[in-house]
Homo-oligomer: A and B are copies of this chain.
């Protein structure tokens, strides 16, 4: 029997857990939120890193621990909310050495310092494989969180950087050839030492012009589909933001660079939509911002329209349990 996919599982849980009164953010958004008082929310996110599936060959314990924090912080970045602190639930396979604990602690601490948030608690358990559940919390004013479901026809679609490096980097790390040419070091680094676009996300939220936002940890295509589906609009892409070194790598390897950019994952850029007439002024504050398409009336499709052709972009990407 074929098992459920991660998305199917989330679908079942969402259906079972949904209840009234309505929460400030839906189950399918990047973070959860809950009212503290009339105008203030506590914002929470949990993201579980598992050694076998989330830490590829070549990733050190420090890097795995740091990545667990980056994944959680990235969701806050996409919502424009500063994470104030972290709790870490750690599952370790015995026997656990002092060096293992210290390396994990270093990775967590370095990441926490990078994003100026503090580790305030946690739990430790015995597991068969490394498990790092990183829980972030922060605070936001009601109505100030960037949502997945706010895209409007007439918006432009923008991203905060290039795509495809993690898909390419993962292929390098999983491949047999060693050492890899130095010119591809940014590709492997994107996997081993990812970065959350926290300051960018906070700046974007402060402009007040962003209508929807998501982090691209499930891949660019999936992220666009999530915005389109939850906002009930179509997204029409005018270009795929392929990183230049990904184009070189794809050429050498006989791969399609656009595929790497669309269907990768664990790439912690932000994907957003905003009013068309605000794009230029917002880009003055966020120079990395790049327009890749438009939001149209529709029912959740993502369409690539360039080079004289039009085709639907599939909703697939990085997924566990598939």
Q: Which residues of A contact B (CB under 8 A)?
A: 1-4, 6, 9-10, 12-13, 16-17, 19, 23, 27, 31-34, 36, 40, 42, 44-50, 52-54, 84-85, 87-92, 94-98, 101-102, 105-106, 108-109, 118-129, 131, 133, 135, 137, 139, 320-321
Known contacts A3-B97, A32-B87, A34-B85; 16 additional CB pairs below 8 A are A1-B95, A1-B97, A9-B101, A16-B105, A16-B109, A33-B120, A36-B40, A42-B137, A46-B133, A48-B89, A50-B126, A92-B321, A96-B321, A123-B133, A133-B133, A137-B137
User: How many protomers of this protein does the assembly include?
Assistant: 2
Contact of A48 among B2, B108, B109, B131 (CB under 8 A): B131
B101 touching A13, Cβ below 8 Å? yes
A97 touching B4, Cβ below 8 Å? yes
B44 touching A87, Cβ below 8 Å? yes
Docked complex Cα distance between A135 and B45 (Å): 10
Given contacts A34-B137, A97-B3, contact A129 B126 (CB under 8 A): no
Docked complex Cα distance between A54 and B34 (Å): 30
Neighbouring B residues of A121 by C-beta, 8 Å: 27, 31-32, 44-46
Closest to A52 in B: B128
A82 CB to closest chain B CB, in angstroms? 13
A69 CB to closest chain B CB, in angstroms? 12
List 9 A-B residue pairs with CB atoms under 8 Å apart, sorted by A's residue number: A9-B90, A31-B121, A32-B87, A46-B46, A46-B88, A46-B123, A50-B127, A124-B321, A126-B320
Docked complex Cα distance between A42 and B321 (Å): 34
Neighbouring B residues of A1 by C-beta, 8 Å: 95, 97
A12 touching B102, Cβ below 8 Å? yes
Neighbouring B residues of A118 by C-beta, 8 Å: 19
A13 touching B124, Cβ below 8 Å? yes
Contact of A17 among B49, B97, B105 (CB under 8 A): B105
- CB-based closest 3 A-B pairs: A3-B95, A32-B121, A126-B320
Closest to A125 in B: B48
